[in-house]
Amino acid sequence: MIEHRLRAYFSAFNGTRTWEELEPQFNDIFHDDLTVVTASGEIDRNGWIGAVKKLLEDGVVAKIDSIRWTGDAYFYSATLTPRDGSVMQPISKGYVKDNKVVRVVPMNAIEYTKIAGTVSSY
């Protein structure tokens, strides 16, 4: 079930994990055609990989706050805390294809702008 994999993926952000350690879980949860919507446009799978790598470099610790299945998608919220102590709380709607998340639409664009902004370093 995707809910369990999503929870495991977020819990893998423990502040010390590397991309090499996280990559198998990323591949297991996100579709090859992944698109992440941000306030400034859309990011493809490779762009999102860049953002995730930056989160890992920043020592992010993540926790899923809630997951709810709506019939065609998951609504989920999380708390992301980088090493600097700041807090991001993305709330997302994740559409599923082939039992993987294929599209992520933020419900709070400001938080996704913070996360997506990390892509600029890649």
Quick: pLDDT tens for 36-93.
Answer: 988 788 899 999 999 999 999 999 999 999 999 888 899 999 999 999 998 888 899 9
N-terminal to C-terminal alpha carbon distance within the chain: 32
> What residues make up the domain containing 69?
2-121
Selected residue with higher pLDDT from 12 and 3: 12
Q: What is the reported pLDDT for 114?
A: 66
Q: How many CB atoms lie within 10 A of CB 69?
A: 13
- The tally of domains found in the chain comes to 1
The average pLDDT across 87-109 equals 91
Strands 30-38 and 61-69: unpaired
Q: What is the reported pLDDT for 93?
A: 94
Indicate which CATH number applies to the domain containing 103.
3.10.450.50
Q: What is the reported pLDDT for 71?
A: 82
